[in-house]
Structure 1
């Protein structure tokens, strides 16, 4: 960070002091530098200053108290800041690094000869406190830097002017600050000696860097303007020429009492030549077709008008012909996927040229200004125009840039049902170059066995992606909770809620869960909840026994028997009288009882039976009626 510090200071050294001085900057126009010192460039330290320039001792490395070095960086120097020099655009630029002595004293001097009498001058330098605030080297901050600028006569015996910087305290970051001393020479004074003196006390701190010491004349602030009160003109080349202008030089009379002029011109604002005969405060330019720069040299005495140690230079009046810029260079048309919010169109132009965007190759609506990019969500062709920033000089043509949106892969969300305990095939349903399922699979179709929400991101050859969502619903199979015989009916109970169909043969289904008047026997009961899903089946023996039988020989209900049990392989039937006496037994074969025991007819009454089918036992009673 660079900061300009201005302190006003008036010093009268004695009643015999001939010059006047103040610590501050020239507020008017300055002359060309009479003397500058930037201490050179390079990555090695040194060289030492010429003999007589300083009373300090040169060292090739970190300087101790009373020593100095010339270096491009201070890395590893105690706990100091590692700095770069101040000179603009320097590569490996060097600075004057001073570790102040324990006693106040001079650390820099320079003689200046050939000065003009009765002329104001500015002596300046950039200073930096090298010690960081709260640095480890100096607890509670270091001793501040304090420098005095002095002007002595050529005999080095009379102090003509001086001014102090005051304390330059530690900073948290390195900070170059400029200080300057103004003074005016008296009649007969043509040489001076410039000095910088260490005012600070010795000890921890008071370490400084110095760069860009300069000495130049100082005079009135001189401004240039034309009859329209313009200070410069920037005009497009296509609008040339510029007619003759009358330029006027206006001093502010802050320093000079008299003014003598010499007008100068330049084609590059760098090399200047005098315009013969133009020595008044006005100048009329010729008709111009190319860029020109004008300034005026001003002095207080005519004899000094060509003496750069004594004159000053006005502001520059610029007449610049701005070339028509080339149309912007496009980086190419843009094609993006339609789900990207905006397309960014981009062009390139050289420095000093801005870009305006339009919706037509000529005329049209201005869409955006001063930007090399244009963002839009509307497909179409847009036009970039180059415009000079010095003057409104547009390019002769506009550059067309097209935005196109690729369509996304077309997908259709789905809801798919599948049967419990089965798999279901999910398909992306679109041809693409890449697939990415929420399961991590990367094929065009996958097989799943669980309900839920599945997604697949499909990406086409243009890199455009879309997401298909598939909701997979499971059709739960019926759960047979119980099958029972009620009289000669079969009753099926299921535990899950919902519509179901029932069958005794797996072919013919009914909505009712009760099968009525079914002959006894072994049945395979089938239940289905959806015709597309498999059936739930269970074998069931429908045990049908008569409630009574009449063995009277009429051919109707003459026997007690269990219907259909012969189809089983593991069963047993036992008959008992009311006292528990076994009357008849059949193991693995049908039982047919005519109501007799040992060829004797048993009386009417209730008789008990048990039927064992595998591990299940059923019991009941039957009435014998005679």
Structure 2
């Protein structure tokens, strides 16, 4: 069922409607409940003292009423059913307003109330007119508008009243609950309930009433302890017996004065008064078994003995707990370094929590509150159970181990494949298992095509790493030439690519530049990385100065060549920038000091041609500095 509780729209007006409202505090059990019976058949008529409307067994006309679980049997402008929105879901009082005069249609005396006690009266109302009826009543029909009045048992003093305001017909039937709060008179245990229709009958103003309830209304009272900030105290076995100091704090939402009676229970359901404990503060005796405490509150002391005349706080529990057992390990965890690590896990009870330590006793807390823990390092960790809200710990800790194993160390390779030759890919030796992307499980595989290849390498701990091979067609080796720059030799490749170089055909390296090389006849070697082909080229290496400074200081005074002595025949020629021959000579004895006809030539760049039998001429320039 749905409850549509109207917390009084009319609070914003200054008229009589402002007295409608629900109990703002704690409600007691119903002391009176009129549900008009169960079933869908017609109920018995009300007594003549209750209503002066005429009782009928079908749908009532103006000035009539019935008690039934069915509506709209004959009147097609009414809803055809009651929605399940009241407490009882049975019969209801159905009233068709008098078409001549507004006024009272219900009066009933409610007894067995407590004197000088605040109560809440409530009832569910429903406009039974179906606003979906076509061309019957204008708009939504005449609205219903009911006024409730509560009188003292002598029917001479009105205690409270309030009106619902207009409740219009709707397309879908719905119940709406209304309430009044009043205070019974001292020395009286009865009140008179009266209901009035504020409008007259006609096309509309047809209503149903159900679940008329009276119940006590008291303050919301909080029971608390200064020692803890919760509504229960959990006590460890080593702390038994225990005591608790409690304070009752009403919210003054209803009562102006307060009478207290503290109670205790061993099950939270059956309560016993604690003799003499009638103040807001309470100190318990020594507690050795679990108990519950609450306080009854009434506005007048005479009403404390009647549960219908007082309200009770929520229970404050003192729980004597058991020492928890050590948590149950859900198994050690094994992981590979670099992979996600599963949590270490233990099993505990719902009222327990786990603290993780770095030692079997003492030590440091490294994680708290959670039975799952993900450590950062391998090792053994220790889980200790504690009761939630209590300092009760298990006598032993549970060890759980994280084993971290390294993966095989691998490095990717870039290889070259010789034309028309197979290539062996080797994953590397070790106590491993292998799984190639192509499905092979051997350490080595033979390939004949360039491309990308990979192999998963797994060690005995189950940790795997992937090694990748990038296989390219081998670059074509070829030497375009060799250049000498002073004592440096540079081998110039004919093609682009990756090659290795050597001057002795034995020691190869990735660099094509060789330094500190003496003059002489050498052979330059180049090979591709796959070793498919090695090419060579013999060349003369002459150490030629880059500049001369003919100032007779003994350093770089002459243009002289080193290495020509290794050749049978050689000729050297020196030119200026205009191509004029300045000097020439043969063999290792050639030397030039920058003079022409005994005259000093100016500082400038000069050119040389060196001719050696069996080799291409060597040409270049040098600088004369003054």
The corresponding residue for 2:418 is 419
Equivalent residue runs for 1:368-447 within 5 Å: 368-429=367-428, 435-437=435-437, 440-444=438-442, 445-447=444-446
* Residue 334 (structure 1) shift: 0.7
Match of 1:601 in 2: none
The alpha carbon displacement at 1:335 in A equals: 0.8
Q: Residue 346 of structure 1: CA displacement?
A: 1.7
Q: Which shows bigger deviation, 243-252 or 300-309?
A: 243-252
User: What residue number does 1:551 align with?
Assistant: none
Cα distance in 2 for partners of 1:176, 1:225 equals: 39
What secondary structure, in the 3-state scheme, does the structure 1 residue paired with 2:28 have? coil
Q: Does 1:449 align with 2:448?
A: yes
Deviation, structure 1 residue 322: 3.7
Aligned partner of 1:275 in structure 2 is 274
Shift of 1:181: 3.9
Q: What is the match of residue 312 of structure 2?
A: 313
> Within the alignment, does 1:120 sit opposite 2:112 as a pair?
no
Matching residue of 1:31:
28
Given that 2:117 and 2:185 are in contact with CA atoms closer than 8 Å, whether structure 1 keeps it comes out as: yes
Q: 1:362 to 1:47 in 2, by over 3 A?
A: farther
Is residue 48–residue 70 contact of structure 1 (8 Å, CA) maintained in 2? no
Contact preservation (8 Å) 1:260, 1:300: yes
Distance 1:415 1:293, change over 3 A: same
> Residue 123 and residue 50 in structure 1: after superposition, are their counterparts in 2 closer, same or farther (change >3 A)?
farther
Decide whether aligned partners of structure 1 residues 176 and 423 sit closer, same or farther in structure 2, where only a CA change above 3 A counts. farther
The equivalent residue for 2:341 is: 342
Q: Across the two proteins, how many residue pairs are aligned to each other? A: 441
Structure 2 equivalent of residue 58 of structure 1:
70
Partner secondary structure for residue 417 of structure 1: strand
Q: Is 1:294 aligned with 2:293?
A: yes
- Decide whether aligned partners of structure 1 residues 109 and 473 sit closer, same or farther in structure 2, where only a CA change above 3 A counts: farther
Residue deviations 1:551-597, cap 9 Å, x none?
xxxxxxxxxxxxxxxxxxxxxxxxxxxxxxxxxxxxxxxxxxxxxxx
Query: Does residue 68 in structure 1 map to residue 81 in structure 2?
Result: yes
Deviation at 1:379, TM superposition (A): 0.5
After superposition, give the CA deviation of every residue in 1:469-515 in whole Å (9 maximum; x if it has no partner). Answer: 12323225689xxxxxxxxxxxxxx9967999xxxxxxxxxxxxxxx
Structure 1: gaps of 5 or more residues: 40-45, 72-84, 88-93, 130-141, 480-493, 501-527, 537-626
| 8 Å Cα contact 1:26/1:182 also seen in 2 | no
Conserved 8 A contact 2:425-2:446 = yes
Q: Offset of 1:266 from its aligned partner?
A: 0.7
> C-alpha separation between the residues in 1 aligned to 2:233 and 2:111?
41
Q: Which residue of 1 aligns with 2:555?
A: none
3-state DSSP of counterpart to 1:387: strand
> What does 1:93-492 correspond to in 2, within 5 Å?
113-123=111-121, 150=148, 161-162=161-162, 164=164, 181-186=180-185, 188=188, 190-191=190-191, 215-224=214-223, 234-242=233-241, 247=246, 249=248, 251=250, 255-256=254-255, 259-276=258-275, 278-279=277-278, 283-429=282-428, 435-437=435-437, 440-444=438-442, 445-459=444-458, 463-476=462-475
- 3-state SS, counterpart of residue 23 of structure 2: coil
Distance 1:110 1:427 in 2: 102
SS in 1 for 2:216: strand
Could you tell me how far 1:22 is from its partner in structure 2? 3.5
Aligned pairs for 1:432-581 within 5 A: 435-437=435-437, 440-444=438-442, 445-459=444-458, 463-476=462-475, 533=532
Query: 1:312/1:12 Cα in 2 relative to 1: closer, same or farther (>3 Å)?
Result: farther
Shift of 1:57: 4.8
Structure 2: stretches of 5+ with no match in the other structure: 47-65, 128-139, 479-492, 500-526, 536-626
Q: Distance in 2 between matches of 1:163 and 1:308?
A: 30
Q: How many angstroms does 1:162 deviate by?
A: 3.3
Question: Against the structure 1 CA distance between its residues 395 and 107, is the aligned structure 2 distance closer, same or farther, given a 3 Å change threshold?
Answer: farther
Write the distance in 1 (CA, Å) between the matches of 2:214 and 2:456.
73
Partner-residue secondary structure (3-state), 1:31: strand
Equivalent-residue separation in structure 2 for 1:196 and 1:469 (angstroms): 92
Cα displacement (A) at 1:409: 3.9
Q: What displacement does 1:331 show?
A: 1.3
**What's the CA shift for 1:458?**
3.4
Distance 2:260 2:112 in 1: 21
How many Å apart are 1:292 and its aligned residue? 1.9
The answer to whether the Cα contact below 8 Å between 2:244 and 2:284 also exists between their aligned partners in 1 is yes
Offset at residue 311 of structure 1 (A) = 1.7
SS state at 1:68 partner: coil
Give 3-state SS (helix, strand or coil) of 2:402's partner.
Answer: strand
Deviation at 1:33, TM superposition (A): 4.5
SS at match of 2:237: helix
SS at match of 2:343: strand
In structure 1, distance between residues paired with 2:116 and 2:43:
31
With over 3 angstroms needed to count, the CA separation of the structure-2 counterparts of 1:394 and 1:472, relative to structure 1, is: same
Tell me how far 1:273 sits from its aligned partner: 1.7
Alignment CA distance shift 1:165-1:318 (3 Å): farther
Residue 373 of structure 1 deviates from its aligned partner by 1.5
Q: Provide the C-alpha distance between the structure 2 equivalents of 1:404 and 1:280, rounded to a whole number of angstroms.
A: 62
> What SS does the corresponding residue of 2:162 show, helix, strand or coil?
strand
Residue 123 of structure 1 contacts residue 180 of structure 1 at CA under 8 Å; is this kept in 2? yes
